[in-house]
Structure 1
Amino acid sequence: MKNVFVMGLDELNHLSLRSLPSAEDCVFHQLLTQDELQGGTISVPDLLGAAQRRLDDFPGSVDAIVGYWDFPVPMMVAILCARYGLPSADLEAVVRCEHKYWSRLEQQKAIDEVPAFGLIPATEGATLPAHLGYPVWVKPVKSASSEGAHYVTDDVALAGALAAALPTVDRIGGPFEEILAMVDLPAEVAAAGGRAFIAEEAVTGRQLTVEGFSRHGRVEVYGVVDSMHVPGTQSFLRYQYPSGLPQDVQDHVADLSVRVISHMGLTNSTFNIEYFWDPQTGRVALLEINARHSQSHALLFQLVDGAANHLCMVDLALDRDPRMPHRQGRCAIAAKWFVRRFTDGVVRRVPSQEDVAALEREMPGTTARVVVSPGARLSEQRFEDSYSHVLAQIYTGGRDEDELREQYARYVEGLEFVVDDGAV
């Protein structure tokens, strides 16, 4: 049996990993908890030390180290695999993708579909770079799950956004700089460091994500996922697979992904790349590269294709050529939905496990995760966008989009949350 150590292994993803057709010879072990890895301000050297002690104390063989969460997991996987002589991406290539400013500098060398961008130092009175005009998105050069990202339309909003994002910069920027110190950085990136901001042209259109992997320099795309927003907001309502966009658009973003990942030098790794496509103008713009696959999409691939996208991660870590099945699942379409609240409050009641189980029995194949707890203040939750708070995540699969919408509506009706002054 192969011992596969998963950084931040959680119950839902453990179930998907155990169901993989290529994982019959694998035992999955948790390597640190998600809270240890991402809870509050972290120390990368301390986490690496804790992980290495766990691995060294394990009585059996260490055959693979993997992870699917955001910072600091992709970098830690690369570091630990190098120490233990295991297949993985090179740390410099991972950082090149994940440092938003360095990534933009490299993207524009490989493709034309890169929005205008510029660096904003984390200094008092910082202004928009002269070559950019409003509106823009302002983001820390390293964050997680859109945390600290703000849409700004003028200088006053820019100042407010920079101030609002400082907690994210303080919590993630310091540990990120501990990793940057392990890499030979270009002078421009070294000067920016891990605490700066990047301003990017605010592109519009339909958002989508390309999922793929790179092995020994061969880059392969295996799926395109649509990202739909709550109407009139910047927050996601659902991720839906397979994409409903025109095939020529999907082919185009797949080709762009192969070119840019090849240029980045990212290999022996999964990846996901987010894009915008404007149906009015036909313009495609690359939004962000992640040197990991999206665990948010795992159940969607499992329902539609017959295996979670974790398959590629595990096979690469075991030095195998990934072979994702295609349309062999029991559903024609699947989605991950978000139940959101757009104002702050204190959670007073959440649905019970019995409430959730009853809905899952009523709609076989659906899954729901309540992600808040009684007594929690929504504004203090981590890994949120800047405009809303997630109460629950719901996975649905079915024959068509109408069935997905019907399942989601039944969940929203059946899951009662009380936040401050009433049900939402």
Structure 2
Amino acid sequence: MTWNVFVIGLDDLSKRLLPHLRHAEEYAFHGLLSLDEVVHAEEYPFARLVDDALAQLERFPGPVDAIVGYWDFPTSGLLPVLRRERGLPGPTLAAFLKCEHKYWSRLEQARVVPECVPVFQALDPFDERAVESVEIDYPFWIKPVKAHSSHLGFRIETADQLREVLPVIREGIGRFGRPFDEVTALTELPEEVAAVTGHHCIAEAIISSGRQCTLEGYVQNGEVHLVGLVDSLRDAAHPSVLLRYEYPSALPDAVQARMLAITRRFLSRIGYDEAPFNIEFYHDDQSDRIWLLEINARISRSHAAIFQLVDGAPHFQVMVDVALGIPPRMPHREGPYPVAAKQMLRVFEDGRVRRVPSEAEIRRVEQAFPGTLVKLNVHEGMRLSDLKHQDSFSWELGVLFTGAETREALAERIAQCRRMLPFEIEPLASTAAR
């Protein structure tokens, strides 16, 4: 038997990884909507995307067995809508929103795991008295109720700084805010949530002390299952900037068990079922306190290749099998390396790209270290500030996936790969870190 699995925004990296699924011969993968429509577009007309996707599925001559996706919004929002229309299993739209509407999610978290939730409030960036409406203490973190990759996220130290960033937020918030409002209009919202639209922000106390990790898992038949925990290593000068993911997590087993227990309590509360998820935590070493950062109603694409390097298959396996309604056939610790990483190749000043690693240089790296993958985000001649989905402080030139026998050897291998992958960035006349 062959299952027809439709992948929203199917990209080149996933085309390289999907053949490594266990029982890959049983799946036929089909792209659903293009990468340019669901990731790289300037605007995301949600209703049109739904109509286009449904029309494509209707034209398909065979059965549609599953619809999956690993990108953030709007892909994550398309999944529950399209599955509902096609009668396929998956979380309800309300359960999805209780994960990904940042304000609604915090309200639900505060009811079931209050010890993990920072002080927070909704904030309307278009309100002339927005600064005066702040009720929490400075410093705090502000971000839209729907965005990703730290888009329009700022650490705010003073009221004056808030006044400076509000015009920036107002200018850019509609890119995700408009389509998110289309999604929330498809279900009934509690009164306390209905007033907080996609054009609102959430402000919350800083919780980024200690060690950050992401718990990857899935829910099937109401049972929460763990796939693995991935550590997030951040830049010392810009704590909101991710430098590397490492798998498996180095956190103590007891801390990991507490995170899983918190996850089970929350997902059971909101009725999330028949889908994968990832949930980000901080563990404060000093106080031994666990903070919940955010929940995503999807797997993290960023982690797929490192699961393959350590476990023997990308955790796309979980995404696909759960969507098909079968127990995931995900291997565990059957990969070639005990530890692996996704290293972001970042710079912190704007500039123009004069040179990127050649195809031959990339092949040399991938052949020298079996299992290593290199993906570039830039091309010669482009300006870094033209990159989309960047954080507020840096630009990601590309990413490197690699593995090693130990964490020390992993750090050495990353450094060696970086030396073998030369970039040349010409500074601009008036460049500065964002």
CA contact (8 A) 1:125 1:159 kept: no
Paired amino acid for 2:162: L
In the other structure, the counterpart of 1:94 is 96
Q: Name the residue aligned to 1:126.
A: 130
Runs of 4+ in 1 over 3 A off after TM superposition: 128-131
Partner of 2:173: 169
Greater alpha carbon shift after TM alignment, 353-362 vs 66-75: 353-362
In the TM superposition, what are the counterparts of 1:205-354 in structure 2 within 5 Å?
A: 205-234=210-239, 235-354=241-360
Q: Is the 8 A contact 2:22 2:329 kept in 1?
A: no
Whether the 8 Å CA contact 2:91–2:274 is kept in 1: the answer is: yes
User: Among residues 354, 362, 365, which one is paired with 1:356 in the alignment?
Assistant: 362
Q: Secondary structure at the match of 2:24?
A: coil
CA RMSD, Structure 1 to Structure 2 (Å): 1.4
- In structure 2, what is the equivalent of residue 397 of structure 1? 403
Structure 1 residue aligned with 2:185, among 169, 173, 181?
A: 181
- 1:130 Cα deviation from its structure 2 partner: 4.8
Q: Once the 2 structures are TM-superposed, how far is the Cα of residue 26 of structure 1 from its aligned partner?
A: 0.5
2:54 counterpart of 1:48: no
Helix, strand or coil: the match of 1:9? coil
Tell me how far apart the structure 2 counterparts of residues 180 and 128 of structure 1 sit (CA, whole Å). 28
1:10 paired with 2:16, answer: no
SS in 2 for 1:369: strand
Indicate the SS of the match to 1:394.
strand
Q: Which residue of 2 aligns with 1:29?
A: 30
Q: What secondary structure does 1:27 align onto?
A: strand
Q: Which runs of 5+ in 1 are unaligned?
A: none
Which amino acid counterpart does residue 225 of structure 1 have in structure 2?
V
Q: 1:298-331, CA deviations, whole angstroms, 9 ceiling, x for partnerless residues?
A: 1111111112111111011111122432211111
Whether the aligned pair in 2 keeps the contact of 1:221 and 1:258 (CA below 8 Å) is no
Cα distance change on mapping 1:170 and 1:375 into 2, 3 Å: farther
Match of 1:70 among 69, 72, 76: 72
State the TM-score, normalized to the length of structure 1: 0.96
CA distance in 1, matches of 2:324, 2:111: 32
Q: Distance in 1 between matches of 2:19 and 2:165?
A: 42
Shift of 1:80: 0.8
The answer to whether residue 112 in structure 2 is matched with residue 110 in structure 1 is: yes
Partner of 1:152: 156
Q: Secondary structure at the match of 1:240?
A: strand
The match for 2:431 is none
SS in 2 for 1:45: helix
The one-letter amino acid paired with 1:94 is F
Residues 1:57 and 1:130: Cα distance change in structure 2 (over 3 Å) = closer
* SS class of match (1:420): strand
The letter of the residue matching 2:130 is A
Shift of 1:122: 2.2
Task: Tell me if the contact between 2:215 and 2:226 (Cα under 8 Å) persists in the aligned partners.
Answer: yes
Amino acid of the residue matched to residue 216 of structure 1?
N
TM-score (norm. length: structure 2): 0.94
Identify the range of structure 1 (58-67 vs 317-326) with the bigger mean alpha-carbon deviation. 317-326
